[in-house]
Amino acid sequence: MVKNIYFIGLGLIGGSLALSIKQTNPSINVIGFDINEEQAMLAMKLGAIDEISPTLFPNLAHVDMIFISTPVQQTIEIIEQLQNIELKQGVIITDVGSTKAKIVDWANKYLNGRIKFIGGHPMAGSHKSGILAAKPHLFENAFYILTPSKHVTTEDLSEVKRVLEGTKANIIEMTPEEHDKVTGVISHFPHIVAASLVSQAESYEEHYPLVKRLAAGGFRDITRIASSNPSMWRDILLHNKEPLLTLFEEWMSEMERVKQLVANEDSEQLLLFFEQAKLYRDGLPEKQKGAIPSFYDLFVDVPDYPGIISEITGYLAKEEISLTNIRIIETREEIYGVLRLSFQTERDRELAIDCISKYSNYETFII
């Protein structure tokens, strides 16, 4: 039975995991350390941890499980240092890093079977960082990938799964190499593309100053992740070099192919290009967070007057319903409501429907 857990790194992911563990297992004692003291203090105030550790390696002789939830480069440095630290016999160490092969290699090299290391990666997150963005339900319905090393037993795996039960994530196992190829294509490479689209738009600004103001729906949707933490993504790219180099080759030859289709005005093949992409994109699981976090959207048909947003958010605040996003849809042609509210869970959306009908006559729609 796990009684004491130690979290190193109390930001978005560490904070969210600690919150969910405390919520479902209040009797587990959670100790936390963050190099940024303010984060640790906030984690304590928010109830994510029971104790703040004043140092990276306090007395860990009673700790049953350690979560390393720092950026990937710091994670391997911490693993290296752990080899000289006295730990409880049978302790399980896991991490949450977005890359796995290098981290697991490091664990094999420095912990050398002396310590059970289980690589981990919850496949949900945000472009926001820090404990203030953490939520106990962040990983609900998301995939949570584990990459156990050969020294790990099924009992050790079950122990980690038990601790993570409250996340309501869908836990799956993969090899680190398989993990890095898959996340390369659906997470790491898209972050590169998003950042490069933003740079391209920025380079147009000198001659077309309207670029910024015209960058609306589509551009914002595809580039949201370009607002993610730059140093975190630099390190993810450096860790996942080989799979990414292959993806660059594949992407560039695909871009070359599409470029030729445009140059040759090949309307049939261009149509096929978009049709195939639409077919695959439309078939992605919607209510599952997976690699693409799903949001429960609600459309509200509201009159277009100043103050309407604060009116609606005011109703939701009265009932303590939390929103993840709010947006005015500028076309009324096909979408009934002009206001799009996004919620993290289906339950929040249901509560919002009841709430809006309680305080107003505005119609709500789910599309």
Ligand X SMILES: O=C(O)C(=O)C[C@]1(C(=O)O)C=C[C@@H](O)C=C1
Ligand Y SMILES: NC(=O)c1ccc[n+]([C@@H]2O[C@H](COP(=O)([O-])OP(=O)(O)OC[C@H]3O[C@@H](n4cnc5c(N)ncnc54)[C@H](O)[C@@H]3O)[C@@H](O)[C@H]2O)c1
Q: Which residues bind ligand X (CB under 6 A)?
A: 98, 123-127, 187, 225, 228, 291, 293
Q: Is the dihedral of CA 72, 14, 342, 291 positive or negative?
A: positive
User: Which of the choices ligand X, ligand Y, none does residue 65 contact, using the CB cut-off of 5 to 8 A by kind?
Assistant: none
Establish if 11 lies at the interface with ligand Y (CB under 6 A): yes
Q: How far is the CB of 18 from ligand Y (least distance, A)?
A: 11
Q: How far is the CB of 57 from ligand X (least distance, A)?
A: 26
Could you say which of 24, 83, 108, 129 contacts ligand Y (CB under 6 A)? 129
User: Which of the choices ligand X, ligand Y, none does residue 293 contact, using the CB cut-off of 5 to 8 A by kind?
Assistant: ligand X
Identity of the amino acid at 33: F
> For residue 198, how many other CB atoms are within 10 A of its CB?
16
Q: Which is nearer to ligand X, 206 or 221 (CB)?
A: 221
User: Which of the choices ligand X, ligand Y, none does residue 10 contact, using the CB cut-off of 5 to 8 A by kind?
Assistant: ligand Y
Can you list the positions of beta strands (E) in the chain?
4-8, 29-33, 51-52, 65-68, 92-95, 116-122, 143-148, 170-173, 296-301, 325-328, 339-343, 363-365
Could you say which of 29, 39, 147, 240 contacts ligand Y (CB under 6 A)? 39
> For residue 106, how many other CB atoms are within 10 A of its CB?
18
Identity of the amino acid at 106: W
Q: How far apart are CA 344 and CA 126, in angstroms?
A: 12
Q: Is the dihedral of CA 10, 110, 231, 327 positive or negative?
A: negative
Stretch that binds ligand Y, among 46-54, 166-174, 228-236, 284-292 (CB under 6 A): 228-236
DSSP class per residue in 289-326: -SSS---EEEEEE----TTHHHHHHHHHHHTTPPPSEE
* 277 class by beta-carbon count within 10 Å (0-12 exposed, 13-18 middle, 19+ buried): exposed
User: Which of the choices ligand X, ligand Y, none does residue 11 contact, using the CB cut-off of 5 to 8 A by kind?
Assistant: ligand Y
User: Which of the choices ligand X, ligand Y, none does residue 96 contact, using the CB cut-off of 5 to 8 A by kind?
Assistant: ligand Y
Tokens (6 digits) for 276: 């195939």
Stretch that binds ligand Y, among 29-37, 57-65, 254-262, 283-291 (CB under 6 A): 29-37
* Residues in 45-104 that interact with ligand Y by CB under 6 A: 56, 69-72, 74-75, 96-98
Establish if 8 lies at the interface with ligand Y (CB under 6 A): yes
Among candidate residues 102, 101, 108, the one with its CA nearest the CA of residue 93: 108
Establish if 12 lies at the interface with ligand Y (CB under 6 A): yes
Could you say which of 5, 30, 67, 122 contacts ligand Y (CB under 6 A)? 122
> For residue 151, how many other CB atoms are within 10 A of its CB?
16
Q: Which is nearer to ligand X, 139 or 299 (CB)?
A: 139
Q: How far apart are CA 16 and CA 200, in angstroms?
A: 34
User: Which of the choices ligand Y, ligand X, none does residue 291 contact, using the CB cut-off of 5 to 8 A by kind?
Assistant: ligand X
Q: What are the residues binding ligand Y (CB under 6 A)?
A: 8-14, 33-36, 39, 56, 69-72, 74-75, 96-98, 121-122, 125-126, 129-130, 229, 232, 236
